Amino acid sequence: MVTLRPYQEAAVSAVYGHLSAREDNPCVVIPTGGGKGVIVGRICADVVERWNGRILVLTHVKELVDQNAGQAARFLSPLLVGVNSAGLKRRDLDHPVIIAGIQSVYQKACDLGRFDIVLIDEAHLIPPEGEGMYQTFLRDAQAVNPHLRVIGLTATPFRLKDGAICGPDNILNHVCYEVGVKELIRDGFLSPLISKAGKAKADTTGLHIRAGEFVAEEVERLCDADDLVRAACSEIVEQTRERKACLLFAAGVTHAEHVAEVLRSIHGVEVACIFGQTPDGERDRIIARFKGGELRYLVNVAVLTTGFDAPQVDCVALLRPTMSAGLYYQMVGRGFRLAPGKSDCLVLDFGGNVLRHGPVDAISITEKDGRDGGQAPAKECPQCQAVIAAGFATCPQCGFQFPPPERDQHEREASSAGVLSGQVTTTEYVIRDTFFAVHQKRGALLDAPKSLRVEYEIGLNRYQKEWVCFEHTGFARGKAEAWWRARSREPVPSTAAEACRLGNDGALTPTTHITVRTVAGEDFERITDYRFGPQPTSREPGDDRDEPTISTALQPSAYDDEPPF
């Protein structure tokens, strides 16, 4: 007797409730590692034993075909479960339960006969339109049985270019049940994730986008620079000394081989690579060694995402950026599963993916029609602070020309961004330069209180901002006074313009470092601590005390960001 977890029972009940109450097709969303296979097995058993029906389970890789067949056999006699997969060298046609690879059966719906239910695992792979394999098969299967119902299972209910997979005109129409990553971690069903403290984000603004994803050749050229590979490998080895199974995702075959060679020759660790072209026998041997604990480091290129089940993985290194929220989730998800002796999974993000897509339990996606499905990937103009689409080479607001991509823009250290929402990270940055400007809130009256906007340059075209409210009253003014006294012996200014002039005249103690606090899933970062250089000497009263002026470059801009308070 197989006992389902409470959320698995709830998911099965939700499917049956949907099929009874509605005429369209339901989808269940369960995180990677949450046991979708058990749900598959339970539904297969119910269709056959409770309703004397017939069910087909479709997926796209032989590993999932094999796993789902094994799960169905836990609930039913193995004699009732057939497999139709070229990769597994089986062509069963007549069983009450058929577990099949879509590539093997999409033109053979009539050969397989009548089904009451088609259950699609990894349902986010169903194209929303066109003449794909799933559409071809389902059209023919519905000709055999016009009353056919379809059930979807996925961890990521969205596609890269098209947004949500459920809709009134899609194969799947409604999410009938969903449980999140945070809930399953909280309840002890998934492994906690942690991310390494380091640089906050990667700059990929120089990469071009084709069909919704970074151009693969550009990504690999960027990631494969020798100094970047060496720096990333050094950090991986340093951060994983106590880790047992480290899965690395590279940008391409050449990049993967480069990473593996550096790990072997410089760090003396044993490592293997798997690509799409790796022969099945060699691939199976490498995976068996990795799962058995003989091999700690395994590099792959877009292979070990869906269908790869290795619970002992306790480090995932993302050595590539991706615009695909689904791919990002699937890569990180390799570390979700629980295993004996595993306390958590370390995520090392060298591609800025956490910042680009958000925490894995709160991924931002964009609907196909632009509706409120999340935020599109964007970048900030360092000149006017306008937030614009990442593909712009020139800022449409102020005309700023973004520099061409530089070879060292791939992160040498992993991102510290929180991989789960609510996760707090703090990072200290060295300040390259500090800029002062007068800020007027967008749409405010001319006589409304203004603020001093301070921008700390913390990297190439990277700035951390704060607003100091000298012209406000109450708590805001009190904070401004404390901010000033920590930096200057001068009297506290009464206006933002005066503070700006004094700041540019060198009256403030220079800030050498700032500490930034980030809460994953929240919009704004906060500066929580400062380190200062030598304090400037106090000037004599009357020196340079002309009427405050603001240079043209410091005039309030209509494109200033709103203060985050």
pLDDT of residue 373 exceeding 90: no
pLDDT (tens digit, 9 = 90+) per residue, 84-128? 999 899 999 999 999 999 999 999 999 999 999 999 999 988 876
Q: Average pLDDT in the 64-69 region?
A: 93
> From CA 494, how far away is CA 144, in angstroms rounded?
80
> From CA 409, how far away is CA 199, in angstroms rounded?
12
pLDDT (tens digit, 9 = 90+) per residue, 203-258? 677 888 887 789 999 999 999 989 889 999 999 999 999 999 999 999 999 999 99
In terms of average pLDDT, the best of 75-84, 150-159, 412-421, 475-484 is: 75-84
Q: Average pLDDT in the 35-51 region?
A: 95
pLDDT of residue 40 exceeding 90: yes
Q: Which CATH number fits domain 6-179: 3.30.310.50, 3.40.50.300, 1.10.510.10, 1.10.240.10?
A: 3.40.50.300
Q: Does domain 193-409 have CATH number 3.40.50.300?
A: yes
Angle at Cα 346 formed by Cα 340 and Cα 352, nearest 5°? 155
**32: nearest Cα among 159, 171, 153:** 153
For residue 446, give every residue at least 6 positions away whose Cβ sits within 8 Å of its Cβ, in sequence order, or none: none
Instruction: Return the pLDDT at 130.
Output: 61
> From CA 75, how far away is CA 46, in angstroms rounded?
9
Q: Where are the alpha helices (DSSP H) in 301-427?
A: 325-333, 353-357
Q: Average pLDDT in the 377-385 region?
A: 44
Q: Which tokens go with 324?
A: 């695909």
Instruction: Return the pLDDT at 355.
Output: 75
Instruction: Return the pLDDT at 20.
Output: 92
pLDDT (tens digit, 9 = 90+) per residue, 514-543? 998 877 666 668 898 999 998 776 555 444
Residue with tokens 């492994």: 191
The residue ranges of every structural domain in the chain are 6-179, 193-409, 424-554
pLDDT (tens digit, 9 = 90+) per residue, 192-214? 888 763 343 446 778 888 877 89
Q: Average pLDDT in the 379-385 region?
A: 45
Burial class of residue 401, CB neighbours in 10 A (0-12, 13-18, 19+): exposed
Q: What is the residue-averaged pLDDT of the chain?
A: 82
For residue 415, give every residue at least 6 positions away whose Cβ sits within 8 Å of its Cβ, in sequence order, or none: 195, 196, 198, 199, 200, 201, 202, 349, 350, 352, 353, 354, 355
DSSP string, 470-501: TT--HHHHHHHHHHHHTT-SSPPPSSHHHHHH
Three-class SS state of 180? coil
pLDDT of residue 296 exceeding 70: yes
Q: Do domains 6-179 and 193-409 have the same CATH topology?
A: yes
Instruction: Return the pLDDT at 345.
Output: 92
Predicted confidence band of residue 404 (pLDDT cuts 50, 70, 90): low
Instruction: Note the residue count of the chain.
Output: 565
Instruction: Return the pLDDT at 61.
Output: 87
Predicted confidence band of residue 417 (pLDDT cuts 50, 70, 90): low
Contacts 24+ apart (CB under 8 A), 462-466: 462/201, 462/203, 462/382, 463/382, 463/435, 464/429, 464/514, 464/516, 464/525, 464/527, 465/385, 465/561, 466/527
CA dihedral of 210, 212, 216, 218, whole degrees rounded to 10: 60
Lowest mean pLDDT among 43-57, 151-165, 463-477, 491-505: 151-165
Angle at Cα 105 formed by Cα 102 and Cα 110, nearest 5°? 135
Q: Average pLDDT in the 357-385 region?
A: 50
| pTM across the whole model | 0.64
Query: Is residue 299 within 8 Å of residue 320, measured between CB atoms?
Result: no
Lowest mean pLDDT among 66-70, 283-287, 438-442: 438-442
> From CA 68, how far away is CA 546, in angstroms rounded?
79
pLDDT of residue 164 exceeding 50: yes
Instruction: Return the pLDDT at 196.
Output: 67
> From CA 259, how far away is CA 273, in angstroms rounded?
9
For 518, the enclosing helix (H) or strand (E) is strand 511-519
Instruction: Return the pLDDT at 382.
Output: 55
Query: What is the DSSP secondary structure assignment for residue 124, as one 8-state letter?
Result: G
Q: Average pLDDT in the 68-96 region?
A: 94
For residue 384, give every residue at least 6 positions away whose Cβ sits within 8 Å of its Cβ, in sequence order, or none: 395, 397, 398, 400, 557, 559, 560
**323: nearest Cα among 206, 214, 471:** 214
Q: What are the strands of the beta sheet with 117-121, ordered from one edge? A: 90-91, 81-85, 97-101, 55-59, 117-121, 149-154, 26-29, 174-178
